[in-house]
Structure 1
Amino acid sequence: MEWRHICVDMQRMFAEDTPWHVPWMQTVLPQVTELSQRHSLRTIFTRFVPPENPDLMPGTWRAYYGKWWMMTGEHLPQEMVDVVPALKKLIPPARCFDKRVYSPWLDGRLHNVLSGEQVSTLVISGGETDVCVLATVMGAIDLGYRTIILKDAVCSGADETHDASLELLGNRFSVQLELMETEEFLSGAGWQ
């Protein structure tokens, strides 16, 4: 079985002091780093890349970036889009995949790469559980991937919606999705 680790948006703009700061990112970073180091050839980091200015985005994304203008390329230093330093040093051999929206699946590029590599299973870590991780997981399920969420390696800025997202995913999608701890996955116990 061919698998890849999709590490969602573990970026400086979420780890550092910005309006989008996710305090729990530091808590999950050791698990994410351990998996990414052990399996750097199988790791793909996604990066949520804001536009230069709101007018470059369609529809309601303009209003979104009107609210979050300080997070656009005009105002946010470019290096803040990078994955956190502990993970950036793994690229290469790990790969990076940029996206403009929550889901990495919308334009088909990531799915084409994974299909070409005959990947059938995705292991998901990163943030935020209730936004970009959720979009990544739902798309993976729709595309037919066996999906594993490492529940101690995902994080959110809001505890209540983080917990609710994991409960929803674990209960409603139990045939297509597995929740497990990072160590359980790394040891191979119960998933291979």
Structure 2
Amino acid sequence: MNFTNCVHLCVDMQRMFAEETDWHVETLAGVLPAIEALTEPHAARTVFTRFVPPERAEDAQGSWQEYYEAWPNMLRERMAPEMVDLVPSLQRFVPPAAVIDKPVYSPWWSGALHQQLQAKGVDTLVITGGETEVCVLSTLMGAIDLGYHVVLPKDAVCSSAAETHAAMLSIYASRFGIQLTACTTQDVLDQWRREG
């Protein structure tokens, strides 16, 4: 692992997933200490993504309208505005950490994040957050497509579905081994310490 030109990209660690909502991810609290440990020494090299639902279902594009018709309580017109915020223990790192909002699973949808990372010479991404087989999947595959090497601390990603979470971790490790390094949070922290 080489982290010289690395950014920690943390996916959707928001109150609407941490608290009792229709999208509650029970395992989010369990990975939060690992994500805090990765963020603290390199807050300035951390980017948090936030998944931001539309105000109303009719504001969404195409099949996203059907999606939000199935999840009406997660529309912004029904949700308290602060539910889109990062969980408080991560919010404290902003700034210097950056925040990127997105209306879809992928943070690459507009091209802005890739442009910002390329301008800084970033070639490696440590990806954490949730959910392993939804927004993390979209983030990870987009990163690989764009040529980034992905470092995935398996103890720093979470999901509301244990079976597909485990299956996805297995797929990441077995199918993308050249472009992805699956490891632990401690592995990343140890490497950062070695590199100074």
> TM-score band (shorter)?
over 0.9
State the alpha-carbon separation in 1 of the partners of residues 170 and 99 from structure 2: 29
Q: Does 1:85 align with 2:81?
A: no
**Structure 1 residue 21, shift from structure 2 partner:** 0.3
Q: Does 1:111 align with 2:114?
A: yes
Q: Does 1:168 align with 2:156?
A: no
Q: How does 1:104-183 map to 2 (within 5 A)?
A: 104-183=107-186
- Letter of the aligned partner of 1:78 in structure 2? P
| TM-score where L is the length of structure 2 | 0.95
- Indicate the RMSD between aligned Cα atoms, in angstroms: 1.2
- Letter of the aligned partner of 1:13 in structure 2? M
1:102 counterpart residue number:
105
Deviations 1:121-173, CA, capped at 9 Å, x for gaps: 00000000010000000000000001011100000000001001111111111
Deviations 1:71-94, CA, capped at 9 Å, x for gaps: 011001110000000000110000
Which SS does the other structure have where 2:128 is aligned? Answer: strand
Which SS does the other structure have where 2:186 is aligned? Answer: helix
- Letter of the aligned partner of 2:188 in structure 1? F
What residue ranges of structure 2 are gaps of 5+ in the alignment?
none
State the alpha-carbon separation in 2 of the partners of residues 117 and 68 from structure 1: 38
Over 4 Å off, 4+ runs? none
State the alpha-carbon separation in 1 of the partners of residues 149 and 20 from structure 2: 35
1:187 counterpart residue number:
190
Which SS does the other structure have where 1:14 is aligned? Answer: helix
**Structure 1 residue 29, shift from structure 2 partner:** 0.3
**Structure 1 residue 37, shift from structure 2 partner:** 1.0
Deviations 1:39-74, CA, capped at 9 Å, x for gaps: 101100000000000111111000000111110110
State the alpha-carbon separation in 2 of the partners of residues 155 and 124 from structure 1: 12
Q: How does 1:19-30 map to 2 (within 5 A)?
A: 19-30=22-33
- Letter of the aligned partner of 2:137 in structure 1? L
Q: Does 1:74 align with 2:77?
A: yes
Q: Does 1:49 align with 2:52?
A: yes
What residue ranges of structure 1 are gaps of 5+ in the alignment?
none
**Structure 1 residue 106, shift from structure 2 partner:** 1.2
State the alpha-carbon separation in 2 of the partners of residues 139 and 150 from structure 1: 18
Which SS does the other structure have where 1:187 is aligned? Answer: helix
**Aligned match for 2:67, one of 54, 61, 64:** 64
